[in-house]
């Protein structure tokens, strides 16, 4: 059964369903209760489930993330909402030194089945401190899974997948996607964590993207098609684990590749993907790889400067042409 809905409503419905089906599931974070969430994802859930399961927390990311880790260790299934990714740095010690390591340090005796959600990305004129794209940083850490839902379907499905996982799962939700509309089919079997999806078949060049940049890549692919270039567009969906199999299969098909990444170029997830392609499919390449990343500056507040700093379809088209010309 499919229906049109928004990204936020799909997430809300997934959380509601999980809480109805499993009394161990609860949601905690700043303003998730009476206010309905900073991005209105949890609107109405407090009235439905009460303050013991929809928990408004103090402004202390380290404290409520640590409480969530403790609850997960003791059999609960917490969903922790961190308002924006920059605030997650205040909980980084809990995430990296506790959630990600406890299974290893306990010799497999302790699992931490916690889900941590946070808004990521720029484009809302929130200036440098609230516009980070740090999902690539977290993908560096063993013991974590890092998901980046782009579509309404994944916004819904990844909540259930994350709650079913025995280990910590971080979900990065681009803040510009909450109002996005799309089709949700609750009868579809979800794609598993770690599986990329070919959103558009093509034969000339592979464009790898995730989050909101998936739609910029698809728009760029339409322009390229009019210019005689048939681009294959892949939604990575998961940054840890990465789906090397799908990536390499596409590289072997098109022999040219580029990555669109809202993170900064230096030390980015795009750099990791390029390294893996070099290791696993170097001789399949007919041209040097390309990438479009955010400019290496603190994100500007002024709208025209913010837009100039971010990946966009025109930049993707230009990079695709460069990769094709270098072949």
Please identify every residue annotated as catalytic.
Answer: 61, 130
| Residue 107 burial by Cβ neighbours in a 10 Å radius (0-12, 13-18, 19+) | exposed
d(CA 267, CA 286): 25
Q: What is the DSSP string of 149-192?
A: --SHHHHHHHHHHHHH-SS-EEEEEEGGGTT-EEEEETTSPPPP
Q: Do residues 203 and 102 touch, judged by C-beta distance below 8 A? A: no
Contact residues for 218 (Cβ-Cβ < 8 A; gap 6+): 199, 200, 233
Q: What is the DSSP string of 89-136?
A: GGGHIIIIIIITTHHHHTTTS-----EEEEEE---SS--GGG----HH
Cross-strand pairs, 82: 118
Cross-strand pairs, 200: 233
Question: Each residue of 220-241: b (16+ CB within 10 Å) or e?
Answer: bbeebeeeebebbbbbbbbbbe
What are the structure tokens assigned to 51, written together?
A: 């303050």
Mutual angle of helices 152-164 and 7-21, in 10-degree steps: 30
């Amino acid at each position: 059964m499919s229906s049109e809905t928004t990204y936020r409503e799909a997430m809300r419905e997934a959380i509601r369903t999980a809480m109805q089906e499993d009394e161990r599931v609860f949601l905690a974070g700043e303003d998730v209760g009476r206010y309905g969430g900073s991005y209105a994802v949890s609107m109405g859930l407090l009235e439905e489930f009460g303050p013991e399961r929809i928990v408004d927390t103090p402004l202390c990311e380290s404290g409520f993330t640590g409480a969530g880790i403790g609850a997960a260790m003791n059999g609960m299934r917490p969903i922790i909402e961190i308002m924006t990714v920059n605030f997650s740095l205040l909980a980084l010690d809990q995430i990296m030194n506790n959630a990600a390591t406890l299974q290893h340090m306990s010799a497999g005796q302790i699992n931490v089945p916690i889900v941590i959600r946070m808004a990521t990305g720029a484009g809302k004129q929130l200036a440098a401190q609230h516009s980070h794209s740090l999902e690539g940083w977290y993908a560096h850490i063993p013991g974590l899974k890092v998901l980046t839902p782009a579509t309404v379907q994944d916004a819904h499905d990844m909540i259930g997948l994350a709650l079913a996982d025995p280990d910590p799962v971080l979900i990065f939700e681009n803040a510009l996607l909450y109002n996005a509309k799309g089709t949700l089919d609750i009868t579809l079997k979800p794609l598993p964590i770690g599986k990329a999806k070919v959103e558009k078949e093509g034969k000339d060049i592979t464009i790898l993207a995730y989050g909101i940049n998936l739609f910029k890549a698809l728009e760029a692919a339409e322009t390229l098609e009019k210019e005689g270039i048939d681009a294959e567009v892949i939604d990575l969906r998961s940054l840890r684990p990465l789906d090397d199999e799908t990536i390499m299969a596409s590289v072997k098909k098109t022999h040219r590749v580029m990555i669109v990444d809202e993170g900064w170029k230096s030390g980015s997830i795009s750099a990791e993907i390029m390294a893996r392609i070099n290791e696993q499919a170097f001789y399949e390449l007919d041209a040097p790889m390309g990438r479009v990343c955010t400019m290496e500056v603190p994100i500007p507040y002024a709208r025209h400067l913010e837009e100039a700093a971010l990946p966009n379809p025109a930049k993707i088209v230009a990079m695709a042409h460069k990769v094709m010309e270098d072949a």
